[in-house]
Amino acid sequence: MRTDRQNGSRPRLSERTAAAVARLAPDGVIARWAAGGDCLLPYYHVVSDEWLPHVSPLYRFRSVRQFESDLEFLLRYYQPIGLGEFLAAATGSALPKRSFLLTFDDGFREVHELIAPILRAKGIPAVFFLTTGALGNSLLCAHQKIALLLDRLAAGISATTCEELGRLLGRPGGSKEDVAGAVRTLGYEEATRLDQLATTMGVDFAGFLASTKPYVTDDQASSLLAQGFELGAHSIDHPLYSRLGLEEQLGQTLGSMANLQERLGLRRRVFAFPHSDDGVSAAFFTRLSAGGGMEATFGTSAPQFDRTPRHFQRFSMEKSGAPAAAILAHQAIRRAKQRLAGSRPLQRT
């Protein structure tokens, strides 16, 4: 098992500033600044103390200790709410003055095995957004394939293999670092090339999917519902929406929602964009509102605000290894900068 933590790069200046603020300001003051009168919408993907080869090479995630520390901070200064209460507020009901709605993306099996028990013990509701094509481990999403390739590259490859990979990626003569950089730019639409790279490196995607079972099963998803958690859709196979046309975007969104309703009988119709909602037009939301019956959609661009009706921006709790106070201080600083600059909503054309 690897013991190195993922993506241990040096924090950016804004993160270092936030960490300094968190050391100097009382936690209660930071909590008040961060809320800004709104419901906090933090999101995660996975929690683990292990190196996860299908995730770790791509982005940070919280250890169990860090996650529990986050929750303790949030519970100290905010009131957790469920999806029903949040949606009611979207139609005019009042929320508690300081509240938070916790969400998780992708549907990794850790949400059932590790995260849900922690949340239940603390009495915290949550929404788990599932990539429906991967539900039941029917497929391995492209970004998980990319992570496995990067993990194999980090473990070491021969000069001959590196040369072959460079040829496949259009970078002949490149170094292992050049190859890794090119792999990171690949998208889910380049499935054939990902499979070619895997064959060259001896990475068995199907074997990994069958042995590790990285995503929740239908039974586990049903168990989450039975425990009182909510589920939402997160696309069919996790594309970057900015690379899709309007019809493909709508197909991914409505198709994943319909699939969950058919398989699990969901009461709610909510959707979180994979990666981000960048490149999603006003026409998309108009069409979705007209025919989709979606109760709410969620992006990842907080603290920016969005005037699109029933669309809400969340913020990541995973982009740094900092404690919750520093992450919320970072949100408060970004919010203050926007106010000083004359904050404008995200524009959709």
Residue 29 pLDDT greater than 80, yes or no? no
Q: What is the pLDDT of residue 3?
A: 34
Rounded percentage of the chain residues whose pLDDT exceeds 90: 70
Q: What is the pLDDT of residue 157?
A: 92
Residue 179 pLDDT greater than 60, yes or no? yes
What is the model's pTM? 0.91
**Domain spanning 13-137+213-340: CATH 3.40.50.2300:** no
Q: What is the pLDDT of residue 304?
A: 77
Q: Does residue 11 have a cis peptide bond before it, meaning omega lies within 30 degrees of 0?
A: no
Q: What is the pLDDT of residue 220?
A: 98
Per-residue confidence band for 4, with pLDDT thresholds at 50, 70 and 90: very low
Residue 166 pLDDT greater than 70, yes or no? yes
Q: What is the pLDDT of residue 14?
A: 61
Query: What rounded mean pLDDT belongs to the chain?
Result: 88
- What mean pLDDT comes out for the span 273-287? 94
Tell me the backbone φ, ψ of residue 80, rounded to 5 degrees: -70, 140
Q: What is the pLDDT of residue 187?
A: 87
Q: What is the pLDDT of residue 35?
A: 67
Are 139 and 266 spatial neighbours (Cβ–Cβ below 8 Å)? no
Pick the range with the lowest mean pLDDT from 29-33, 161-165, 239-243, 337-341.
29-33
Pick the range with the lowest mean pLDDT from 10-14, 136-140, 229-233, 242-246.
10-14
Pick the range with the lowest mean pLDDT from 38-42, 113-117, 124-128.
38-42
Q: What is the pLDDT of residue 39?
A: 87
Residue 26 pLDDT greater than 70, yes or no? no
Q: Which residue has the higher pLDDT, 292 or 209?
A: 209
